[in-house]
Structure 1
Amino acid sequence: MLNIFDVIRNIIAEHKIILPNFFYIKNLTGYHQCLLDTQKLEKLLPELSESLLQIHKKNAAGCLHFIIENDCLTLQVSSETIYSFSNDCEFVSPYVPTEFLENCEVETVDELVVKLESYSNQTHEEKKWEWQWFNCSADKPNIVKVIPVNAKLHADFRADYYIFYPFLDSEIETILSSLATPKLNVFLADDSVVSLLTTKAMIENLGAHVTTAADGKQALDMCRKSEFDVIILDEKMPKMFGSDVLLELKSNLLNRNSLKAILSGVTNKEEVESFILKGANVHLDKPVTKLKLEKLLAMTQQAKFSATQHI
Structure 2
Amino acid sequence: MDEKKFLAEKFEANRGHLRAVAYRMLGSTAEVDDAVQETWLRLNRSDTSAVENLSGWLTTVVARVCLDMLRSRKSRREEPMGPHVPEPVADDAYGRDAEMADSVGAALLVVLGTLAPAERLAFVLHDMFAVPFEEIAPIVGRTPAAARQLASRARRRVQGSPPPDADFDRQKNIVDAFLKASRDGDFEGLLAVLDPDVVVRADQAAQRLGSQAEIRGATAVAEFFKGRAQAAKPALVDGSLALAVMLGGQLRVVVRLTISGDRISAIEAVADAEQMGEFDVALLS
Q: Under a length normalisation based on structure 2, what TM-score does the superposition of the two structures give?
A: 0.26
Say which structure, 1 or 2, has more relative contact order (CA 8 Å, 6+ apart).
2
- The structure whose Rg is larger is 2
TM-score with structure 1 setting the length: 0.24
User: Which structure has more helix as a fraction of its residues?
Assistant: 2
- Decide which structure has greater strand share: 1
